[in-house]
Amino acid sequence: MKKLFCLILFVMISEIVSAQTINFTSSNLPIVVINTFGQEIPNAYKINARMGIIYNGEGIRNYLTDPFNNYNGWIGIELRGSSSQIFPKKSYAVETRDSLGNDISVSILGFPAEEDWVFLGPYNDKTLIRDALAYKLARDMGRYASRSKFFELVINGEYKGVYLLLEKIKRDANRVNIRKLNPTDTTGDAVTGGYIIKIDKLDGENNDGWYSEFRPFPQLSARIFYQYHYPAPDEIVSQQKNYIKAFIYAFESAMNSPFYADTLLGYPKYIDVNSFVDYILLNELVKNIDAYRLSTFFYKDRDSRNNKLFAGPVWDFNLAFGNCDYYQAYIPSGYYLQYVSEYSNIPSWENFFIPFWWKKIFNDQKFQTKLRTRWSELRNSVWRTSRINAIIDSLVNLLEESRTRNFQKWPVIGQYVWPNYYVGQSYEDEINYLKNWLFNRLSWMDSQLITSVSETEINQPDFEFYLYQNYPNPFNSTTTINYYLKKQKHITLRLYDLLGREISTLINELKLPGYHSFQLDASKICLSGGIYFYELKSHNFISRKKFIYLK
C-alpha cells in the first residue's frame, strides 16, 4: 500500500512538472489534476483513475505545487456527450470512488455531497459561459438547475483548458428532490414515485425506455422514445415501468382528446403547469435547440407528496443564445417551440422530434396568460436586462486569465466550429454578439408577452401602438427599432436631429397588427455622429425615442 501511495505521488508530481512546460503554474480558478495511469478514457464505461483538486478558497490563488486540499482520491471517468465527442476538447462523466471502486458521496468545490459529476469542456461555445449563464438564470427563477463552477484541468500531465463542473441530473435531496424508489415499492402510493424520465439520444450504456403511442406529426410513423433515468434501467422493476408508462399514456391521451385544456380532464390534471411555464420561458429566452426534443427531463414525485408531472431540470445550452446555424436558432425573434412543431420546417435528416402536446399546451389561452404573468414577474426582478448583463460581465471577468490559456490550447477564435452561426475574430466579439443577441431576444419576447405594454393598456380604446427603445444604443453601424401595433394601420417612422429637422422617412406604409422590427443602417442615410430622435406616428398618435450614433 505504501509503494502504491508513493507511485501515485510520483505520477501526480510528474503531471505537475509536465503541465508547467506549457506555462501553466497557477490559476485564479480551482485546478483539477487527473491521472489515468496510461489508460485511454473510453466512451462506454468508466475506468479507475486518480484525481486531486487544488482549491484554496474564493479570491485565493491556486498553484500546481499546492497540496490537493479539496479532493485527493479515486474516481471513475469516461467520455460524455454525443455530437460534442467529435471535438478534440472532450467532456467527461466522473464519479467519486473509494479504494475498492465503490461510489462515495463527497463535496467537491463547495457543492453538496454527491458521487456523480459532469466535467463540461466548452468548445464550440467560444464565450465559454453559455451553460453557466443559463443554469444561473434557471436557478434565479427558483427552480433547481445544476450548480456550476469553472476550473482548469490537467490530465496525465497535459493541460486541457477551462472546464465547468456541473451536477449530473439525479434524484437527491440537493438535486431533484423526489422520494427514493426502492425495488420493493411496487404497489399503492409507493409505486407512484419518484421518477425521472427524459427525451434524449441513446448515448452511453444502460439505456432503456418505451415508445409513445402518439406520433409527433401525422405524416410520420416515428414515435417519441421516453427513457428511464431514475430509477436507472437496470434498477427499475416491471411494476414501476408499468406505472410511469401508464401515467404518461394517460397524459398524452388527454392531450390527444378535444378536452385537452379542460381543468378536470386535460393537462392541468396531469402536469404542474407552473413548471412547464418556467421550462418554456427559460428555453425560449435562450432559444435552446436541444429543448423539448433532446436533453429534456421530467420528474414525478410520490402521489402523497405531489401527483403532478414536472418539467425539468433544464439541461445543455452550448448551442443556445444564437450559437447555432440551423432551425433559425440565430434569429432573435420567433418561438423555437412553434418552429419545430411545424412539420414543414423539419428537414429529412432529422431523427429527433418534438412531442405533439407541447404546441397544444403552449397555445392554450390560459397557459398563455400564465406565460405573460410569469414573464412580467421575471423581467421586473431577476431577469432585468441590467442584471443579466451583470452576470455575463462577472463570468467574463472571472475567466479573463484562464481563457487566454484555453484558447492557446484550443485555438478556435476566428474559426468556424460546427454549428456556429457567428464567428467573432476575438473573444470580445463573441461576448458582444451574445449580449446583442440576448438584448434583441429579450425585446422580442417583451413584445410578444406584453411586458412593456400591459394587457390593460392594449384593451384601452385609445391604445394604438407602442414604440420600443432601439438596440444597441449607442451604436456605430446598425441598430434595431421595434414597435407594436394593436391594429392594422398606416404608420410613419421618421428620423430627426436635435433641432427637430427631419433627416429621413424610414417607413411610410400600411402595416399589419403585431410586432414589427426595422433595422436602421446609418451608412445608408449618411448620418453624422450625434444625438437623434426617431418618431412613430399614426394619425394623431405619436411616440418618440432618443438614440446616440457614434461614428
pLDDT number for residue 446: 86
Question: Which of 54, 55, 57, 53 shows the shortest CA–CA distance to 75?
Answer: 53
Mean pLDDT of 320-338: 96
265-288 residue pLDDT tens = 999 999 999 999 999 999 999 999
Give residue 540's Cα distance to chain centre: 44
Question: Which of 34, 161, 26 shows the shortest CA–CA distance to 90?
Answer: 161
Mean pLDDT of 321-328: 97
In the chain, what percentage of residues exceed pLDDT 70?
93
pLDDT number for residue 238: 98
Lowest-confidence segment of 68-72, 186-190, 221-225, 383-387 by average pLDDT: 383-387
Q: Does pTM top 0.85 for this prediction?
A: no
In which band, very low, low, confident or very high, does the pLDDT at 455 lie, cut at 50, 70 and 90?
very low
pLDDT number for residue 447: 80
pLDDT number for residue 451: 47
pLDDT number for residue 127: 98
Mean pLDDT of 193-200: 97
The average confidence (pLDDT) of the chain is: 91
Please state, in angstroms and rounded to a whole number, the distance separating the CA atoms of residues 469 and 449: 17
Q: Is the pLDDT of residue 370 over 70?
A: yes
In which band, very low, low, confident or very high, does the pLDDT at 4 lie, cut at 50, 70 and 90?
very low
pLDDT number for residue 468: 82
Mean pLDDT of 405-421: 97
256-266 residue pLDDT tens = 999 999 999 99
Q: Is the pLDDT of residue 21 over 90?
A: no
In which band, very low, low, confident or very high, does the pLDDT at 6 lie, cut at 50, 70 and 90?
very low
Q: Is the pLDDT of residue 14 over 50?
A: no
In which band, very low, low, confident or very high, does the pLDDT at 202 lie, cut at 50, 70 and 90?
confident
Q: Is the pLDDT of residue 11 over 60?
A: no
Q: Are 240 and 231 in contact (CB under 8 A)?
A: yes
Lowest-confidence segment of 144-158, 272-286, 455-469, 492-506 by average pLDDT: 455-469
Q: Is the pLDDT of residue 475 over 90?
A: no
| Torsions phi, psi for 399 (to 5 deg) | -95, 10
- Whether domain 452-551 has CATH 2.60.40.1930: the reply is yes
419-428 residue pLDDT tens = 999 999 999 9
Q: Are 49 and 77 in contact (CB under 8 A)?
A: yes
Instruction: Calculate helix-pair angle for 273-285, 427-449, nearest 10 degrees.
Output: 140
Residue with the bigger pLDDT between 16 and 540: it is 540
| Torsions phi, psi for 258 (to 5 deg) | -65, -15
Q: Is the pLDDT of residue 10 over 60?
A: no
SS3 218: coil
SS3 306: coil
What is the three-state SS of 224-271? CEEEEEECCCCCCCHHHHHHHHHHHHHHHHHHCCCCCCCCCCCHHHCE
Mean pLDDT of 104-127: 98
Peptide bond into 194 cis (omega under 30): yes
Instruction: Calculate helix-pair angle for 365-379, 273-285, nearest 10 degrees.
Output: 60
517-547 residue pLDDT tens = 888 988 899 899 999 999 999 887 898 999 9
Q: Is the pLDDT of residue 326 over 60?
A: yes
Cell (9 digits) for 200: 434524449
290-317 residue pLDDT tens = 999 999 999 999 999 999 999 999 999 9
Question: Which of 238, 269, 244, 236 shows the shortest CA–CA distance to 255?
Answer: 269
Tell me the CA distances in angstroms from 146 to 54, 112, 223, 312, 452, one per residue in order. Answer: 22, 11, 29, 11, 31
Q: Is the pLDDT of residue 217 over 60?
A: yes
Mean pLDDT of 327-355: 96
pLDDT number for residue 487: 81
Question: Which of 280, 438, 456, 286 shows the shortest CA–CA distance to 371?
Answer: 280
pLDDT number for residue 12: 46
What stretch(es) of the chain map to CATH 2.60.40.1930? Answer: 452-551
88-98 residue pLDDT tens = 999 999 999 99
